[in-house]
Amino acid sequence: MRDGETFKWIDLHGRSVAHTHARDRRLLVLYDADCGFCSRSAQVLRRLDRDGCLHLLPIQAARNVADAPARDLLLEAIHVRDQDGRWSVAGAAWIRIGLEITVLRPLALLAGLPLIRRFVEWAYARVAGNRHGLSRLFGDDACPIEPTTP
């Protein structure tokens, strides 16, 4: 079904029902709900997303996401998909998230500059590689995914 296409059906009570398919314009954010640090990050994003620009979805519930990378890749780093189907991963994903959230937008614009973007990717790799310790530090369940060595 295409964006804006209308379909009709008869409900259980014999009434005619029409529905117009509207494409979800929110940024899809896939995160690991089994990781305490990742879940805490998703909670913070929910609070900051006052305009409802993000669709936060646990990887564990993302079985039907079209064109999603393999599960093992999803578990290695945060992934986001925009409304045009473009995927961003790791530090680039955080920059993309920041562009959607009003309060984070100035930082995201700065982080998108080439020299700073390299630092963002470096910092993301360090944080992701230490998410076990960070989960324990914040009193969350430790992430069950073993970190990969950068």
pLDDT tops 50 at residue 5 = no
Residue 87, classed as helix, strand or coil, is strand
* 30-41 mean pLDDT: 90
- Condensed to tens digits (0 to 9), the pLDDT of residues 78-136 reads 999 999 999 999 999 999 999 999 999 999 999 999 999 999 999 999 998 888 787 77
In the prediction, which pLDDT does 113 show?
A: 96
Between residues 96 and 33, which one has the greater pLDDT?
Answer: 96
> Among residues 114, 105, 45, which one has the least CA distance to residue 80?
45
Between residues 35 and 139, which one has the greater pLDDT?
Answer: 35
Q: Which two tokens stand for residue 38?
A: 């990742």
| Cβ atoms < 10 Å from Cβ of 82 | 15
In the prediction, which pLDDT does 118 show?
A: 95
In the prediction, which pLDDT does 138 show?
A: 72
> What contacts 41, CB < 8 A, 6 or more positions away?
31
In the prediction, which pLDDT does 13 show?
A: 59
Give the separation between CA 31 and CA 149, rounded to whole angstroms: 20
In the prediction, which pLDDT does 9 show?
A: 57
Residue-averaged pLDDT of the chain: 83
In the prediction, which pLDDT does 125 show?
A: 94
